[in-house]
Amino acid sequence: MAGLARIGAISVILMLVALLAVLTTAAWPSIQAYGTSFLFSSDWRPNELNVPMKDGDGHVIIEDGEVVMETIPPSFGALPVIYGTAVSSVLALVFAVPLSFGTALFLVRLCPKKLIGSVSFLIEFLAAIPSIAFGMWGLFVLSPLLQNYIEPGLRSALSWIPGVNGWLFEETVKRGSKVVTSEVPLTGSDLFTGGLVLAIMILPIITAISRDVLRNVPRAQIEGTLALGATWWQSSWEMLRYSRSALFGAVMLGLARASGETMAITMVIGNNNQIKPSLFAPAQTMSSLLANEFAEASTEIHRSSLCEVALILLLMSLIFNVVARWLVVGKGARTSAAA
Amino acid sequence: MKQSVMSADGPPQRAIDMSGQAMPNRSPRVQQSIHGAGEKRRAPSLGHLEAVAEDESTTVTHEALETESPVVEIDNFSLYYGAKQALFNVSMNVPHGKVTSMVGPSGCGKSTLLRSVNRLNDLIDHVRTEGSMRYGGMDIYSRNINVIELRKSLGMVFQKPNPFPMSIFENVVYPLRIDGEKRKNVLMEVCERSLRGAALWDEVKDRLHESALGMSGGQQQRLCIARAVAASPDVLLMDEPCSALDPIATAKIEDLIQELKGEYTILIVTHNMQQAARTTDYTAFMYLGRLIEYGPTLDMFTKPRCRQTEDYMTGRFG
């Protein structure tokens, strides 16, 4: 029986290695074709493009009365989806972390004993809801709400602040030689909505871990601050400080989940492969790009580039998870043993 | 803050709180059982104990305490953890500028009593109190009292050193930080004064900005004393401050207590009888939640008036 367990453990490790190997092989043509520029190029064009050929002065070349056309090969760059993933995940953290820490503090310090079980269950139940359900809620409830009320409200509330209007609610587009400034259309399918939906989805994991971490703050630390005349908030702040590395780990786990989340974000982020500074502009994440395009990828280089995006996503999640685990389990255990 | 406590002279703060009259029979019964046990165990002659009051269920307080001016006045104070009574009608005055120790076997309620003074027991669910406890004329358990300010006047040192995970400097000035003090020179001045006060300055002055967790246990405990002193309290409550320390570190803390005496009123819980004898002016002996005897330390050791006190002081039990 021990042998069976060993085989089980080894096969899990083998699966991870195999996954990395398969993805790397599949991504190889793209890695060879684009190298590191894959990470920094914002051009994602799966199809060939026929454009008029121009000469050195920028004039269209005409031969025998016909415009000479040239074919530009497809090009792939992951910068917009890396940007979309980063911004939507960070937004999710901005919304989720204060709420999660607040909830964890409530559960540890304020919640009547009778209620702790049910409140914890409800929060952890959020983690068990299928992500498609969050996506549909986001699409049918949250998105219209944001589009019709909250985003216009934010615009009228915030646009007087210098810089905010230009950053969030206006975009500049180059049309030929002219630079045109126009209002960002508020669609409700954008980075902001994506961040909100992700925040709800990562709330349970950050809350559950930070609750366990805060529960392990030694009594002597809490009493030490209170005995010196600290208020409830001040002593809570010291609790957070005391367990800061483990809490940071909890946040990293939330980040790992947010960056890899696919279904819900695909439904609300607007799926537009672009980098716009406005948080109210549609965008694309790595995972939503894969969900949208993988089925329709017809050329080898397209598939291969998608595989490279998947590889980047996998490596990123791996790093987040390893760092988080090290912080929560490794360091957390050490600090509480020292105290 | 949980307000599940009530004061004897104020209205009940929660409808479910039982009034002082609700459990009239509890304490006498337990007191009698103590009395009975004492009699069974201690039949032999006790020559100098003839002055003992007939009823051993009341506290024997030596006359010497009448000349002292009290800082903390505890009057008929009882405390319950849920249904379990932990303190039975304790009455004692903590004299100003003196070191008073509380001794007694484990579980006798000394720490509970100490932690009742700065209302640290508020943190525990279902704690209920009866009787009164006054500090500077204010009822500690009155509804109107500002617990935060109260705790700032009553510094506390815990059993295990509990430095915060920050630099030595930040630890010491923490009480000022939570008051919003930002001026560097004020913080530095208080830091130096407090560390000197805790006889720690010379050892740490070159590494004030290193983590406090890197110090030895004894240094950490003196740091905690410095931190308590930095809040400029009137009273220092010490809960077995040396129990986690080696003899050399213990000796340093004891010297420190002697130096702090006079400037601060010190109430210290200890398990170490020699420590009580060496460092304190008054000693209170507690047993099973009751204050048995309270008097000058020398008298408590050499001519106690209660059998239980003598038994404990001489190491016959506990």
What CATH number does residue B148 fall under? 3.40.50.300
Percent of chain B, pLDDT > 90? 54
Per CB-CB distance under 8 Å, the chain B contacts of A225 are: 164, 174, 178
Confidence of residue A189 (pLDDT cuts 50, 70, 90): very high
| Binary contact (A221, B162; C-beta < 8 A) | yes
Q: Residues B91, B97, B98, B99: what is their CA dihedral angle, to the nearest 10 degrees?
A: 90
Q: What is the pLDDT of residues A134-188, one digit of tens each?
A: 999 999 999 999 999 999 999 889 888 888 888 888 888 877 778 888 888 888 8
Number of domains in chain B: 1
Distance in angstroms (rounded) separating the CA atoms of residues B284 and B77: 15
Q: At residue B157, does pLDDT exceed 80?
A: yes
Tell me: pLDDT of A111 over 80. yes
Q: Which ranges constitute the DSSP H helices of B61-109?
A: none
Average pLDDT estimate for B23-42: 39
Selecting from B148, B158, B237 the residue whose C-beta is nearest the C-beta of A224 gives: B158
Q: Which of A222, A228, A242 sits opposite B165 (nearest CB)?
A: A242
pLDDT at position A331 is: 53
Asked, for residue B44, whether it belongs to a domain, the answer is yes
pLDDT score at A29: 93
Inter-chain CB proximity A228 and B231 less than 8 Å: yes
Tens digits of residue pLDDT in A75-110 = 899 999 999 999 999 999 999 999 999 999 999 999
List chain B residues with CB under 8 Å of A234.
178
Residue A63 has pLDDT above 50, yes or no: yes
**8 A C-beta contact, residue B145 and residue B139:** yes
Whether the Cβ atoms of residue A224 and residue B220 lie closer than 8 Å to each other: no
Tell me the mean pLDDT in the region A294-321.
91
Strands (E) located in A47-141: 49-52, 62-63, 66-67, 69-72
pLDDT value at residue B198: 87
Measured between CB atoms, which of B1, B118, B166 is closest to A227? B118
In a domain, B17, yes or no: no
* Residue count (chain B): 318
Task: Compute the half-sphere exposure of residue B137: CA atoms within 13 Å on the CB side of its CA.
Answer: 0
- Domain of B66 in residue numbering reads as 26-313
Whether B174 and A229 lie within 8 Å, measured CB to CB:
no
Q: B131 in a domain, yes or no?
A: yes
Residue A242 touches partner B, C-beta closer than 8 Å:
yes
Is B289 among the domain residues? yes
Given an 8 Å threshold on Cβ–Cβ distance, is B165 in contact with A222?
no
Report pLDDT for A327.
83
Q: Does residue B176 contact residue B129 with C-beta atoms inside 8 Å?
A: no
**Domain assignment of residue B21, yes or no:** no
Nearest-CA distance from A109 to chain B in Å? 9
Q: Looking at the predicted structure, is the pLDDT value of residue B51 above 70?
A: no
* Domain assignment present for B18: no
Q: Would you say residue A4 has pLDDT above 60?
A: yes
| Average pLDDT score, chain A | 89
Asked whether the predicted pLDDT for residue B222 surpasses 80, the reply is: yes
In a domain, B177, yes or no: yes
B197: CB partners within 8 A, 6+ apart:
B225, B226, B229, B259, B260
What chain A holds in terms of domains, given with CATH numbers, is: 78-148+188-338 (1.10.3720.10)
> Does B39 score more than 90 pLDDT?
no
Q: How far is CA A143 from CA A85, A148, A270, A271, B209, in A?
A: 19, 9, 10, 14, 50
Of B158, B165, B178, the CB nearest to A229: B178
Taking the CA of residue A239 and the nearest CA in chain B, the distance in Å comes to: 10
